[in-house]
A and B are shown apart, each in its own frame.
Chain A
């Protein structure tokens, strides 16, 4: 059963065959690249204090994109070198990497969705109460919501509308 092979060519071990010398130079090269990129990321996070304003070498948006691009650099080295994707056939490289690039569109969409959720306050605790009151002729209730009733429970909200 061990002799069963797939229909592609593979080097197999012949007993007594001499063992070659290790070729590990490229592995350590990739290791140093990964380590250096991580060091740059961490030192930037360390030096760039962001909100505190003491030391701000880079605006927050720039820092964000720097981190994302450096992370993609690391991802490239891990996938193409450590996982040997660079040695595969072109079609296989495409099969693996092209599918994941569509994620970029998804990410961009959802990040804007997050900002929209914040700005429109769609899912505040009183959202469904507001809809309920609006559909039952309580337009005045918008004022209560604007004055911070959002943090109160439903029963308090109704009590306030009676006062």
Chain B
């Protein structure tokens, strides 16, 4: 939507009066915020990698053995649910980019349609994440038999994972899982809220009066970033 920035003749584009990057202040600040958020998520994932490399072999849980549940299916199936979650988030990224494209054409109806689907995708993802957390906290029926002895002489059995113990192996894995996916989930949640606010603004015709749909682009940047972070969380938590 932006054409080339041109400075008055004989002057540098850096001497004021024009936007040298040809990007509005708000959009550029959204990019810079996302860069800072990149470093936040990077440090979280890097510390995960450090502690995983530090752990003795075999002690760290294999994620595809931990997260192998699927709704309405009793058996175990590796990676299926998290692949579905990835698909949901990629799909909502597509609907978001369709909303941005419609905004470039000032097609209010299409913006409302695609932004609404993006909100739906966001809620679907959050629901899936809650389901995933629930099963991780509940654990398996068999649980892990520890060498601690109960007063009645039986062995103490732990089920699932929380901030104190983890049935599947290293407790630190549970801490990282809750923190990193929780931090990402809170980003998804605030993204959904922002999308809803912008959707209401679009419906009320604020963008049409303003003459452009740049606000849709800005929340779009944020939403794609959330998708991008999930791509990395998916790789480092579930695939490797």
Contact = CB atoms under 8 A, between A and B. Distances in A.
Decide whether A and B assemble into one complex. yes
Interface of A: 2, 6-13, 17, 19-20, 22-24, 27-28, 31, 34-35, 38, 41-42, 45-46, 50-51, 63-64, 67-68, 71, 74-75, 78-79, 82-84, 88-89, 91-92, 95-96, 99-100, 103, 106-107, 110-111, 113-115, 117-118
Given A8-B22, A17-B106, A106 B5 contact: no
B224 A88 contact: no
Nearest to B110: A22
Interface in B83-127: 83, 86-87, 90-91, 93-94, 96-98, 100-102, 104-107, 110
17 contacts: A7-B17, A7-B18, A8-B19, A13-B106, A19-B107, A22-B98, A27-B101, A38-B90, A45-B78, A79-B224, A82-B93, A89-B23, A92-B21, A95-B21, A110-B49, A113-B50, A114-B50
A89 B53 contact: no
Contacts of B17: 7
Nearest to A95: B21
Contact of A8 (B18, B31, B53, B78): B18
Contacts of B53: 111, 114-115, 117-118
B228 interface: yes
A46 B79 contact: yes
B231 A75 contact: yes
Contacts of A17: 106
B21 A89 contact: yes
A89 B5 CA distance: 10
Contacts of B209: 2
Given A8-B22, A22-B107, A83-B224, 5 more contacts: A8-B23, A10-B212, A68-B240, A89-B22, A92-B31
A22 B111 CA distance: 11
B194 interface: no
Interface residues of B, number: 73
B3 interface: yes
Contact of B56 (A28, A35, A118): A118
Given A75-B232, A91-B21, A106 B42 contact: yes
B87 A35 contact: yes
Contacts of B91: 31
Interface of A is mostly: helix
A88 B42 contact: no
Contacts of A28: 94
Contact of A100 (B38, B107, B211, B239): B38
B11 interface: no
Contact of A103 (B42, B52, B214, B235): B42
B24 interface: yes
Contacts of A12: 211-212
Interface of B: 1-5, 17-25, 28, 31, 35, 38-39, 42, 46-47, 49-56, 58, 62, 64, 78-79, 83, 86-87, 90-91, 93-94, 96-98, 100-102, 104-107, 110, 208-212, 214, 217, 220-221, 224-225, 227-228, 231-232, 234-235, 238-240
A92 B78 CA distance: 41
B105 A22 contact: yes
Given A6-B25, A100-B35, A110-B46, A78 B101 contact: no
A7 B98 contact: no
Contacts of B1: 10-11
Contacts of A111: 49-50, 53
Contact of A31 (B39, B47, B94): B94
Contacts of B102: 22
Contact of B235 (A71, A84, A95): A71
